[in-house]
Amino acid sequence: MAIHVRIPTILRSYTGGAKAVDGAGDTLAQLLSDLDTRYPGLRGRLLAPDGGLHRFVNVYVNDEDVRFLGALETKLSDGDTVTILPAVAGGS
Amino acid sequence: MARYDSLLDACGGTPLVGLPRLSPQVPEGAPAVRLWAKLEDRNPTGSVKDRAALWMVRAAEADGRLRPGATILEPTSGNTGIALAMVAKLRGYRMVCVMPENVSTERVQLLRMYGAEIIPSPAAGGSNQAVANARQLAAEHPDWVMLYQYGNEANARAHYETTGPELLRDLPTITHFVAGLGTTGTLMGIGRYLREKVEGVVVVAAEPRYGELVYGLRNIDEGYVPELYDPTVLTRRFSVSTQDAVLRTRQLVEVEGLFVGLSTGAACHAALAVAHEAVRAGRPADVAFLVADAGWKYLSTGAYGGTLADAEAALEGQLWA
């Protein structure tokens, strides 16, 4: 078992084109560090200079926004799905 | 009282209906967990956006920005444009909409019928591009009035002053409120009102997760967060896939006879998630979610017929909420 991570099209240049990759970590921060060892540069695109999540990046654990769960300290378990998406304008 | 002097006066005052068949079953003796739907499709042009449109126009009239015969400009993928076009027609304004090309044909037809002029923006850029194009047009036409639903405080205030109080009046025991997240105006207005009045109320956003084609070309540094958005108003925020939204949209009509648009299917999915959590925790819950519009405008998308996989494939690349 591992943590399943969905990568948006715009960031697949870091994953060799892979739509989804597996990673490990007890928290989101650990997961991103783990991913960065195999996909260098990916972590840097997701974080702001202050070390927090980039304002225009949304990350969801099992479909729930991590900003409401604990941000980078959000706890992860094996089998979780992490989805990374660019922020887009919604509304109608 | 169900008599009004004009269509504009008939905005709001929508029904809140229980969904006894869709509400989760609770064990014998356990507290009730109930789902409720706020039927915002029962507004003059058939969507929740009538409230925002009317409040934004009234505010612009009051502060002198909108004068008789003025042109209103708005980036919109449909409902706000339709609502503004109706208000503009009745108040004597010209309406220009900037709209992504990848929205359903019904929305384009309705806008034209209400008298709006449509300036298409490239599908690949989605709503972000429509917003950018509208800003450029506003700069080129300083006499046009862009109400700008994403940053107009009157959008959220419409819900703080009307939808929120209606919900609390009709459901004083409300524990959770769930709505789709777009401009964020609905959630900001209702969320603020309920948080002031109901201790511990949980405010839940259901954000549509479109098909990959919609996000495909988005550069992260050119992302966009509506100016109205204040994350402290929300308690939780869910990303709902196209498949889950379609599944719940169909379930609502099959189980409860409620024919809704796809963004409501997404809100219903999040509402069911928090309702089932309450059941597992043995807590009573009255979960209200907002029906932003009915399904009519989305029939041509293919979401209502065939298998779930067919519907998901048909919606790939479309801004379905």
pLDDT value of position B153: 98
Q: Give the pLDDT of residue B17.
A: 98
Tokens of B148: 């700008």
Percent of the residues in chain B that have a pLDDT greater than 90, as a whole number: 79
Q: Which of B252, B185, B226, B273 is nearest to A63 (CA)?
A: B273
Task: Decide if pLDDT at B308 tops 90.
Answer: no
For the segment B66-88, what is each residue's pLDDT rounded down to a tens digit?
999 999 999 987 899 999 999 99
Q: How far apart are CA B35 and CA B40, in angstroms?
A: 16
Complex-level ipTM: 0.92
Do residue B49 and residue A67 have CB atoms under 8 angstroms apart? Answer: no
Q: Which of residues 222-281 of B touch A (CB under 8 A)?
A: 222-226, 231, 234-241, 263
The verdict on a CB contact (< 8 Å) between A11 and B49 is no
Segment A44-73, tens digit of pLDDT? 999 999 999 999 999 999 999 999 999 999
Residue A92: its pLDDT value, please? 63
Q: ∠ CA(A66), CA(B203), CA(A3), 5° rounding?
A: 20
Q: Is the pLDDT of residue B112 over 70?
A: yes
Q: Are A47 and A31 in contact (CB under 8 A)?
A: no
Distance of CA B159 to the CA centre of its chain: 12
- On the question of pLDDT at B168 being above 60, the answer is yes
What is the average pLDDT across A19-44? Answer: 97
Cα B187 vs. chain centroid, distance in angstroms? Answer: 9
Q: Do B223 and A55 touch (CB under 8 A)?
A: yes
HEC secondary structure over chain B: CCCCCCHHHHCCCCCEEECCCCCCCCCCCCCCEEEEEEEHHHCCCCECHHHHHHHHHHHHHHCCCCCCCCEEEEECCCHHHHHHHHHHHHHCCEEEEEEECCCCHHHHHHHHHCCCEEEEECHHHHHHHHHHHHHHHHHHCCCCEECCCCCCHHHHHHHHHHHHHHHHHHCCCCCEEEEECCCCHHHHHHHHHHHHHCCCCEEEEEEEECCHHHHCCCCHHHCCCCCCCCHHHCCEEEEEEHHHHHHHHHHHHHHHCCCECHHHHHHHHHHHHHHHHHHHHCCCEEEEEEECEECHHHHHHCCCCCCHHHHHHHHCCCCCC
Over 80: is that where the pLDDT of B133 sits? yes
A90:B208 CB<8 A: yes
Q: What percent of chain A has pLDDT over 90?
A: 88
Residue B203: what pLDDT? 98
- Mean pLDDT for chain A? 93
From the list A9, A68, A92, the residue facing B216 with the nearest CB is A9
pLDDT at B25 over 80: yes
Whether the pLDDT of residue A10 is over 70: the answer is: yes
**pLDDT score at B216:** 61
Mean pLDDT (whole number) for A72-89:
92
Q: Pick the residue with more confidence: B222 or B315?
A: B315
Determine contact: B126 vs chain A, CB below 8 A.
Answer: yes
Using an 8 Å CB-CB cutoff, list chain B residues near A10. 215-220
The pLDDT of residue A35 is: 97
The pTM for the full model equals 0.93
Mean pLDDT of A28-43: 97
Q: What is the pLDDT of residue A1?
A: 67
The residues of B assigned a catalytic role are 49
- Chain A residues in contact with B130 by the CB 8 A cut-off are 89
Cβ–Cβ under 8 Å, residues B189 and B51:
no
User: Stretch B146-157: mean pLDDT, rounded?
Assistant: 96
- Give the torsion sign (CA, B11, B12, B15, B18): positive
